[in-house]
């Protein structure tokens, strides 16, 4: 597996996906830096994308390939805390790529230290978010390591240029020009960018694009009912069956995908200042977010729920910007965890042609009290009490109106 004479070469760890960019980068690093390239693929649920990856990496010039399976850690330590926070970027994006970058970068650092590498290289473009996410994590965990970002250095300007580079140097390209969407897959989602999607006025060609879900038109004509049980904000059962979070998400992806759930088309604001358009498939994630929120409606008091909704916006910004390993994110997570102590119970949902519809929820910590809320007068609520409350609650409005009346009467 090792090439000859690597002992005298300096080492670089490459974040390797097996895609077009990283295939080119292996050759480019060897040619321009004379590095021993150690490819590292961090498995966060890419599935079949990992098939044949070792042969591809070694044939491209890497000295070895690490495949690090961190799927369960990714779900437990990054996905679930983000779901608990309610973080959604710009009201739409469920942060699929963003959540995975910190754990990928963490593994790159671990292997770089283990191998005695002097640098870490990534294939994120100079226009993208991932360059920020990768590098902030590396700086937070191993500030002494060099970082190489070829897209900010080389003369290649497009995927077409990268394909031409492969042809020029006899490298087998992992894709064709007509299928060079920029995609990112993990257990949580699949993103699509580039080609016809770069024009916001274009409706996506979903028939040729989608891989995790179907369009609502192709979903079944009958609804699918599911029940998710949570313990302190963490999903623990699906349809009455106890399973870990990874298995729940995997199953929800399957169920949600068949019902056209979690299809998002968004023009978002990137960290670097530009707007970009992407299509995201997040079937299981969309269901988990919806179910978790339904339970919070039942279990959290008004002030906590309102403040948490405000906090979730900042949490989403931190995750999106790659600021996972920061004091603020850790502090916000501590707050979120405290709010989840009573978020325990069951949520029933109806999935139908792209829609998630509430079908009932229950919790031993429910703050809903039928005796108080019912239109039938109960012992715990006296209608007459509302009069005094309204008088005090409306007092500032009354005083203001009296002031204006007094001014107008004196004119």
Give catalytic residue positions. Answer: 21, 101, 130, 182
Within its chain, how far is the Cα of 274 from the centroid? 20
**Which sign does the torsion angle of CA 81, 85, 90, 91 carry?**
positive
Would you put residue 275 in left (φ > 0), alpha (ψ -120 to 50) or beta? Answer: beta
DSSP-based three-state secondary structure for 42: strand
Cα gap 240→225, rounded to integer Å: 12
Cα gap 24→167, rounded to integer Å: 10
The answer to whether 215 and 353 are in contact (CB under 8 A) is no
Sheet holding 263-269, edge to edge: 182-185, 190-193, 275-281, 263-269
Binding site feature residues: 15-23, 93, 98, 123, 125, 129-130, 133, 182, 191, 268, 280
Binding site feature residues for L-aspartate: 125, 129-130
The answer to whether 93 and 99 are in contact (CB under 8 A) is no
How do beta strands 190-193 and 182-185 pair? Answer: antiparallel
Those residues whose C-beta lies under 8 Å from the C-beta of residue 341, and which sit 6 or more positions away, are 232
Cα gap 383→397, rounded to integer Å: 22
CB-based burial of residue 212 (10 Å sphere; 0-12 exposed, 13-18 middle, 19+ buried)?
A: buried
Cα gap 192→190, rounded to integer Å: 7
Cα gap 158→162, rounded to integer Å: 6
- Give the Cβ contact number of residue 91 at 10 Å: 9
- Give the Cβ contact number of residue 396 at 10 Å: 9
Q: Where are the beta strands (DSSP E) in 23-130?
A: 36-43, 64-69, 119-121
The answer to whether 194 and 183 are in contact (CB under 8 A) is no
Binding site feature residues for ATP: 15-23, 123
Binding site feature residues for L-citrulline: 93, 98, 129, 133, 182, 191, 268, 280
């Amino acid at each position: 597996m090792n090439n000859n004479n690597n002992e005298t070469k300096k080492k670089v760890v490459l974040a390797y996906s097996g895609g077009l960019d990283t295939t080119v980068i292996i050759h480019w690093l060897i040619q321009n830096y004379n590095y021993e390239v150690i490819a590292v693929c961090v498995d966060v649920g890419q599935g079949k994308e990992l098939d044949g990856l070792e042969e591809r990496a070694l044939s491209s010039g890497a000295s070895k390939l690490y495949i690090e399976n961190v799927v369960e850690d990714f779900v437990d330590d990054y996905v679930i805390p983000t779901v608990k926070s309610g973080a959604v970027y710009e009201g739409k994006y469920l942060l699929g790529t963003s959540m995975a970058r910190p754990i990928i970068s963490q593994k790159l650092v671990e292997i770089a230290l283990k191998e005695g590498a002097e640098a870490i290289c990534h294939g994120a473009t100079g226009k993208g978010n991932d360059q920020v996410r990768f590098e902030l994590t590396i700086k937070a965990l191993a500030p002494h390591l060099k970082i190489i970002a070829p897209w900010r250095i080389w003369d290649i300007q497009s995927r077409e240029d990268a394909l031409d580079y492969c042809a020029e140097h006899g490298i087998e390209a992992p894709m064709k020009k007509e299928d060079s969407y920029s995609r990112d897959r993990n257990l949580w989602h699949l993103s699509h960018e580039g080609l016809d999607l770069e024009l916001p006025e274009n409706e996506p060609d979903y028939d040729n694009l989608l891989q995790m879900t179907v369009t609502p038109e192709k979903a079944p004509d009958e609804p699918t009912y599911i029940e998710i049980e949570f313990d302190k904000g963490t999903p623990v059962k699906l349809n009455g069956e106890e399973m870990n979070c990874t298995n729940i998400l995997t199953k929800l992806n399957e169920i949600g995908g068949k019902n056209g759930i979690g299809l998002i088309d968004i023009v978002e604001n990137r960290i670097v200042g530009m707007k970009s358009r992407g299509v995201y498939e997040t079937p299981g994630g969309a269901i988990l977010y919806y179910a978790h929120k339904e339970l919070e409606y039942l279990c959290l008091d008004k002030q906590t729920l309102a403040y948490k909704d405000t906090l979730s916006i900042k949490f989403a910004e931190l995750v999106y910007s790659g600021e996972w390993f920061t004091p603020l994110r850790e502090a916000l997570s501590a707050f979120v965890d405290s709010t989840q102590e009573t978020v325990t119970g069951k949520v029933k949902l109806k999935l139908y042609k792209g829609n998630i519809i509430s079908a009932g929820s229950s919790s031993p910590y429910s703050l809903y009290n039928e005796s108080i809320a019912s239109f039938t007068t109960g012992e715990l609520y006296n209608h007459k009490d509302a009069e005094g409350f309204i008088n005090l609650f409306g007092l500032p409005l009354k005083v203001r109106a009296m002031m204006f009346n007094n001014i107008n009467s004196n004119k």
